[in-house]
Structure formats: C-alpha cells, structure tokens
Structure 1
Amino acid sequence: MLQEAVDEAIEKLNMHGYYNSYYDQPIEQYASDNGYGVQEIEDGTVDLKVIIEEESIPVDVEKEQASIAAILTVAKEKVHYQLLDTVEWQEPFPIIDLQNGWFIKPVQEEQVPAGKIIHFEPPRAFGSGLHGTTQDCLRLILREEMKGMRVLDIGTGAGLLSIGAALSGASEIQAIDMEDVGEEVLYNARLNGVESNIKVSCADALNPKFGIDGTFDWIFINIAANEIKQLFAFVDRHLAAGGRLILSGMVTWNEEDALKVYQENGYQLKEIHQTDEWVTAYLIKSR
C-alpha cells in the first residue's frame, strides 16, 4: 500500500540521520451526504519533502541528493531541491478581516489592523478562523449583546466562537470538543483577556453518558449536518425558551435536511449565510 511505502521510506531516512521530513497524506476528498469525506489513495505517488537546515557548514546539495537517492533506491534525477527562507515553509496565517470592524490577528503578525481585534495562536484544531464557517459564525456572534448570558459552544476547535461570545459580554461559556483542545482554547482566551469566562471540556455531546447542567441562552454548533441532526434532542434539552441557536458546518446539498429537524420542532429560522458551499443558520427556539 502507498501509505506503507511512505512510512518505510521515512524510516530509512531516519536511520541515516534525515529526521525532518513531511508529506501530504495520500488521501482524496469526496462529496458525501454529510458534507465531505476522505479516503486513502491505494496507488499513486507521494512527494516526500526532506528539510535540511543549513547552519555554519554550507549544505552540499549534490551530495545530499545522491545520498537520499541511494537511501530510497531511486534515480538521483528524482530528488529535486529548493532553497527555502526560514519562514517560507511555515505557512503563515494572514490577518482576517471579518468585514464588520473586527479582525482576527495571529500573534506572530506584527501589523496591527485599525479595528477591534481577536488575538489568536494558529492552532491544530479545526476552528482556525480561516474556514468560512468560523468566520460566518463570528460575524453573527460579534454583532449581538450577550451580557450576562450562558453560552454552550459544541465543537469549539480553537475556541474562537467562545472568545467571540465572551467579547460580546457572555458571562459563562461552556466549550466542548471531542479533541483535547483545552490548552489551546484557554491560551487564546488569555490573549483576549476572557479566560475567566470560558470552561473547556473534552467530551462528545452525542454520548448518552455526557451530561451538562442547566440551560443556555445561546448554543453554537459548528460540525457536520448528520451530527447537527443527531444533536437535536440534546440541544432542545439545554437551550432555554427563546434561546438562540447557530448551526454551521452544513453544505448546500444537506442544509435543508439538517434544518428540517429543528424547524419542525419549534425552531424559527431567522437567517441563512453561505460562504462557498458552506452554510450557517441562525435560529430561535420559539417555545
């Protein structure tokens, strides 16, 4: 299998002192009923990148090419090289203009935009701020007055929606995610001075054993359509009468099916926002 061949190549490189290598996962994305899925590519090729840092001794490019070719038993002509600046391969995150007076600013960015700022560290979790769903949710959240309100953020990722709620005045935010993102979320919250408002839990809201106390004035869900449908009973138990609900992570070909569950059970659809194929909905619990 392709993945096994890549793993074997990396192991060979490690044995010969080439420890800094990476590659794009041999997977392909496809559209599914739940949005998108991925599957492993069984056959094909992978570009394996080997980073060699030049310190006091200049790197002999031809020598390194020949060495890597011999280790991997490929022709030297198959081993290409490119000189990189130190920061070039780190994929810098840009400042994001939310077009409402707010900006998402990575801590590494020296430029300070003229407006209100959400500071954050580019994370490993989904809600990096670059995705259209995160931005659409933030636009809805940051326009609201949430003073003294309780908020539940399901699938918090990097915590940007929770931080947005805190900046909008929410007094208590419960942020949950299936990944252990607590350290990232609270670090980002500290950057914005709102860490005391946010509590993070590593949990699956779909797990029947998961419990949370009380009701909330707002619930945010930024995951996928199937999970949004499955979470209806949980949401209905924990969203107060007249409470607000933001659902995101749906796509144009499944939004109607996902929202139908809520609209048929007393939730009024107030707004729909779309970025590319991604859909975000704002609803009110009318009972």
Structure 2
Amino acid sequence: MTYIEYNFKITPLQPATDILIAELGEAGFESFVEHDSGFLAYVLKSEWEETILNNLQIVQNPDFDISWSNKEIKQQNWNAEWEKNFHPITVDDQCMVRAPFHDPKDVEYDIIIEPKMSFGTGHHETTHMMLEHILNEDFDDKSVLDMGCGTGVLAILAEMRGAKKLEAIDIDEWCFLNSEENVERNNCNNIEVSQGDSSLLVDKKYDIILANINRNILLEDIPVYSKCLNKGGALFLSGFYTQDLNIISLKCEDSGLKFAKKLEKNNWVSAKYVN
C-alpha cells in the first residue's frame, strides 16, 4: 500500500490542530504524527483525490494560519518516518508506551508499540484518556472489546490489568496487522485480533467495551455496543470533542446506558457509561 503524507504547519497550534485532525479523520485520513509546528497526516493513495481538503472548515478560519505540502510515501519508508517523530509517553506514572528503540522506565506497565502507521500510540489526548480510564478500572477476569483498536494498545493494557478474554477489532487492514504484531510483541495471550466493523459483534457479550473512534461512527454503533454489554458492564468512549458530549450521552441514554464519569483534555473528552 502507498500513502499520501501531508505536512501541516499551524499557527497558533491549538485548538486548530485538534479540530483539523478530527476533520481529516472524517475525510479519510488514517494516522497522525504531531510535531513542533503542526503534524503529519496520512491517507491511502487509493482513497486520495486532489480535492480532499476542499470541505475542511478549519482551513478557512482567518484566526489560524494553516499551510501544507504533500508527498507520496512508500510502505518501506513508514517506519523511518515514525521513528523520527515518535517519543515515549508515561501515563499517571504507572504506564509507559514506548517503541522498541526507547529505553525502558521503571513503571508497572511497560507497553512496547512498533511505531508504524496505526493510530493509537497514546500521544493523542483521546488515547491517553482511555489509558487513564483503564488504569483506574477493575479489569480482573473481565471480558473486553477494544473497538477501533489501532495499534492494540488499549487491549494490551487491559490484559496487563487482568482481563482474561479480549477482542481487538479494526476495519483497517494495516491496523489489524499492526495490532497482531504488538499483541505478540507484548507477550499477550488472551487477545484475539480481527479485521472488520461492528457487524462482527452479533451475539457477542463483554463486561467492558473500549471504543476510541470518531463521533459519527460512535453515534451509529452505540446501540450495538449497548446490546453487547453484560449486566453491570461499562462502555468507555472517546474520539470526540467536549461539545459533542451531550449528543453522545443522549444516544447512550436512548440505548439504556447511564453516564458515569468523564475525563477532559484540550477540548477532547472520554466518557464512561454503565447499564
């Protein structure tokens, strides 16, 4: 597969960076790597067209100076691009997410993620907050779904926290393959990785569901997640802005789920719902 890489430069960085990443995600871009002056964004060449940025509202906003360039990236160059921009992160002094070429740190949960083209290294606020939720939730002997798994990092931490039966699902082939690699790399034995969407969840049941996906997909799939939750189960959602929390919560309420708590970071939100 061949990707088109966009290099966006933004002034000031926030909140334009977060808004632009969200809009690009809806336009078909799959992965993002932030840098000091903006970020890199990647879209499959087969999904790309010259007008792909035409409907982005944030680039028309006079309050921000947004410029970009693009180039074609061959598959063999992806890892080199990530290595230049990927830095380890630590969550609540308990969990470290790092690449194989980073030195380990004395933490309880040391997660090694090969920095390829999959979303979910912990750097973005949504993934970071989901990791926080996992660190503060009881996963002992729980069955878990990581929907839209990206790199598989959420499922990996959930197993480290005691989950015994886990499924990680992503519609993107690259994410599926990358999750399989990372599951093996972290010596996880209880995670089954599959490629697909919510249609795979028919007749499935879980104690905990983790879904870090964009708002529109969440709104479409929340009724499915609700049917898949065991009694007393918990649904953790992220991938949307603070201003979208009400519409997400209303959809959950319509599906029989109650709001429990939320985390917020730089206008992004991650929320817990229970049945």
TM-score, scaled to structure 2: 0.70
Deviations along 1:47-82, whole A, 9 cap, x unmatched?
7699xxxxxxxxxxxxxxxxxxxxxxxxxxxxxxxx
30 and 150 in structure 1: CA distance in 2 versus 1, 3 angstrom threshold = same
C-alpha separation between the residues in 2 aligned to 1:115 and 1:125? 24
C-alpha separation between the residues in 1 aligned to 2:121 and 2:211? 15
Give the equivalent residue in structure 1 for 2:215: 225
Tell me if structure 1 keeps the 8 A contact 2:95–2:111. yes
Tell me if structure 1 keeps the 8 A contact 2:205–2:228. yes
Give the equivalent residue in structure 2 for 1:184: 178
Aligned residue pairs total 221
C-alpha separation between the residues in 1 aligned to 2:182 and 2:69? 35
C-alpha separation between the residues in 1 aligned to 2:197 and 2:163? 23
Which consecutive unaligned segments of at least 5 residues does structure 2 have? 11-15, 28-50, 55-66, 74-79
Deviations along 1:32-58, whole A, 9 cap, x unmatched?
8x952456357x9847699xxxxxxxx
- How far off its partner does 1:183 sit? 2.6
Give the equivalent residue in structure 2 for 1:36: 23
Residue 107 of structure 2 aligns with an amino acid whose one-letter code is: G
Give the equivalent residue in structure 2 for 1:214: 204
Q: Which has the higher strand share?
A: 2
Residue 209 of structure 2 aligns with an amino acid whose one-letter code is: I
TM-score, scaled to structure 1: 0.68
C-alpha separation between the residues in 1 aligned to 2:148 and 2:72? 32
Give the equivalent residue in structure 1 for 2:100: 107
Secondary structure of the corresponding residue to residue 214 of structure 1: coil
Give the equivalent residue in structure 2 for 1:72: none
How big is the alpha-carbon RMSD for the aligned residues of Structure 1 and Structure 2?
3.2
Give the equivalent residue in structure 2 for 1:5: none
Deviations along 1:253-279, whole A, 9 cap, x unmatched?
212111111134432222111111211
48 and 215 in structure 1: CA distance in 2 versus 1, 3 angstrom threshold = closer
C-alpha separation between the residues in 1 aligned to 2:135 and 2:115? 20
Tell me if structure 2 keeps the 8 A contact 1:226–1:258. no
Give the equivalent residue in structure 2 for 1:157: 150
Residues 235-274 of structure 1: matches in 2 within 5 Å?
Answer: 235-274=225-264
- How far off its partner does 1:119 sit? 1.5
Matched, 1:122 2:115: yes
Deviations along 1:66-108, whole A, 9 cap, x unmatched?
xxxxxxxxxxxxxxxxxxxxx8994241110112421112111
25 and 197 in structure 1: CA distance in 2 versus 1, 3 angstrom threshold = same
124 and 269 in structure 1: CA distance in 2 versus 1, 3 angstrom threshold = same
